[in-house]
Amino acid sequence: MGAGFSAPAGGPDQAKLIERIFALPDRDAKTLDAIKTLEAFLVSVMHVDSAKKSEVNLEDIYTPIDRCLADGLSLRDRSPEKLQELRSKIDYLISLAIDRSFDDRIGTDPTCRNYVKRFAEYLVDLASDRAVKARGAVSADEAKAYDPFSIISLNWDIVLDKAIFQALGDKDRIDGDYDPFGVVDYCCYISSIEKTERRIRTGLWSLGARGYNVKLLKIHGSMNWLQCSHCQQLFVSFDEKINIPNFINAKSCRRCSKFHVEATLQGSLVMPTFLKDLSNFQIKLVWQNAAVELMEADRLVFIGYSLPYADFEFRQLLSRMVRKDAQIDVVLYHDGKAEGKRRYKEECKRYRQFFGARKVTTNCKGVVTFVSKLPLPTAP
């Protein structure tokens, strides 16, 4: 799924993120400083017209910065150290702008996330059959063979993650460490940020305890992940978008501090750049697992994703892994206006060209309609 999945819930259009950053209303000292740093970079280093600074593409900001960082070069008068600092400030501002966009939407329409809740309940219901098959079984074969779906998301936001976590909590009223409940499975090595949080555990643990997993592979990272700069462990929370307060006051790694190493946690979002650094161990693991999921899938449903050329890394993964006989369904949205229709036509053409002789169906009714047609979860 792409940005179109979260759009009805308030997810911002990536092309409008810079505009949203400059319009942020809460201006504490750190935010103000980050905005000033970005503005100075755009105007005096990139020579952008100050009045048009909101129109710059994120790729055009990140790509030169990342090229310089990779080669240890300065960008005009900005040293690599300064560029690194600038980069983390932009990361923070993007998180803040996304967060604000969701808050604004739910403020004006409290029901805007209902479709996400319903989708999460549907997914949890489907996934939980694995625990039914594992209950009291001597052989794991039947449970192992049950693998109904996985979700690959290119989104940073956690609107679906939170809804799945909530649906899991509503479904399984058990939370002992070895109880057979379900988990959000990010398909990499995670721990909970709070030591006492039992319902965050790895997918493999949950399966070993005869529970189940809802596979959610976030190949561009997630706003609720923090990674230790020392041990590379990933820490997860569903309560808040932890990378925002972490920028203000970086948490230290609870694993490392046990061994008297003071290491700080950092956000781990893969930013829009033509030089994507996918060398991060945990992100690599997610990509490798996504490759296997794509190969195993006999049906792929693309929701709110336009298959842009800029996502060349994901496109090559699809090229290599999607089966020749896979059915491709594409769920997009247009508002009926000429521009929306034109874009929709172009996106459909892109999918058909990309997937060649495979069977591709497309529709323009959007994710809310798609979810409304899914069967309601069965009563336990």
Chain contacts with Zn ion (rule: CB under 5 A): 228, 230-231, 253, 255-256, 263
Q: Measured from the CB of residue 262, what is the shortest distance to Zn ion in angstroms? A: 10
**147 in Cβ contact with 296 (< 8 Å):** yes
List, as one string, the DSSP characters of 15-39.
GGHHHHHHT-----HHHHHHHHHHH
In 3-state terms, what secondary structure has residue 267?
strand
Altogether, the residues listed in the chain come to a count of 380
Q: What tokens does 130 get?
A: 């694995």
**340 in Cβ contact with 311 (< 8 Å):** no
- Identity at 351, one-letter amino acid code: Y
Question: Looking at beta carbons only, is 65 or 265 nearer to Zn ion?
Answer: 265
| CA distance linking residue 61 with residue 195, whole number of Å | 38
Q: Which residues contact 287 (CB under 8 A, 6 or more apart)?
A: 219, 278, 317
Q: Measured from the CB of residue 261, what is the shortest distance to Zn ion in angstroms? A: 7
Question: Looking at beta carbons only, is 127 or 242 nearer to Zn ion?
Answer: 242
Give Cα 356 distance to the centre of its chain: 28
Question: Looking at beta carbons only, is 17 or 228 nearer to Zn ion?
Answer: 228
Question: Looking at beta carbons only, is 233 or 273 nearer to Zn ion?
Answer: 233
Q: Measured from the CB of residue 199, what is the shortest distance to Zn ion in angstroms? A: 22
* Residue found by looking up tokens 């790694």 in the block: 253
Q: Determine the number of helices (DSSP H) and then strands (DSSP E) in the chain.
A: 16, 10
Q: Measured from the CB of residue 193, what is the shortest distance to Zn ion in angstroms? A: 12
Q: Measured from the CB of residue 4, what is the shortest distance to Zn ion in angstroms? A: 36
Q: What tokens does 173 get?
A: 């009223």
Question: Looking at beta carbons only, is 250 or 301 nearer to Zn ion?
Answer: 250
Q: Measured from the CB of residue 354, what is the shortest distance to Zn ion in angstroms? A: 40
Question: Looking at beta carbons only, is 153 or 233 nearer to Zn ion?
Answer: 233
